[in-house]
Amino acid sequence: MATLKFAVIGHPVAHSLSPKMHAANFASIGFDATYEKFDVAPEDVASFVRAKRDEGYTGLNVTVPHKLAVIPLLDHVDESVARYGACNTIRFEKDGTLTGFNTDVIGFVTGLEAHGYKLAGKKVFIVGCGGAGSALATACCYEGAAALTVADLDAPRISALAEKLTALNTGTQVTALLPVPEKTPGSGVCGADLDASKILWGTAAETAEIVINATPMGLHEGEPSALPPTAFHSGQFVLDIVPTVHFPPTATAAKAAGADASDGLEFLVGQGAKSFELWTGVTADRAAMLKAIRVK
């Protein structure tokens, strides 16, 4: 059998640990495959995906900011994409069609369970509601969270998401926390005030039992926590889905405040292993994948 080819696309994508993680899995189970990463500008996504299909790739992972943009390219949509509104896994079928899946939620739920937490009956706060954040927010509703507060710098996006989640009628009380508007003298309201919004979000996060950072804040060295230190305390579980080899700043701030904090590596492994299994039908070695990217 010919060597199978996989890749992850994003913008930026240089930070991605997926190639290292998947290479460890291939080596552990003796699987003949390659896994690359490609930085693809938003305007090039459609042509790039089709090119990889034509080049004989078996599948792609999709990361920020393309999880929504790839959906119109799909010929078949798995229930996970229809339910969660984002696609992070594309499988190229033998007939040339594209099937999309969302494995982010699997990584999310299994990561919580590994730490002894479930969403049912909990108060949850999520900041960052792009492709991944909106999928996790939807999962909170389907998994029976008692209350969910969603926050983002994009006011229309957060309002639309809250309306969509409320319409699911799952019983979860959904609240949209809009950003604080930034005012420019003489020109009215212009954009959002990040610092003021973070204070507002921090106050809301204090009352949550599960706090999730689904923003990319912390992806680059030197970036601050997505929430102020006052947002965290003992008794909370804080998940920072930023997948970096070093503990990201939001998780670091949470841990310093006494919360049970987890970084994005377990989340990354959970979704990546499921992607591999959807592409190949072969069980991934999750332990090998995590060991390859975890810095001691």
Residues annotated catalytic, as ranges: 67
Structure tokens at 69: 């943009």
Closest C-alpha to 272, from 237, 243, 232, 229 = 243
Between CA 183 and CA 73 the distance in angstroms is 39
Between CA 296 and CA 285 the distance in angstroms is 19
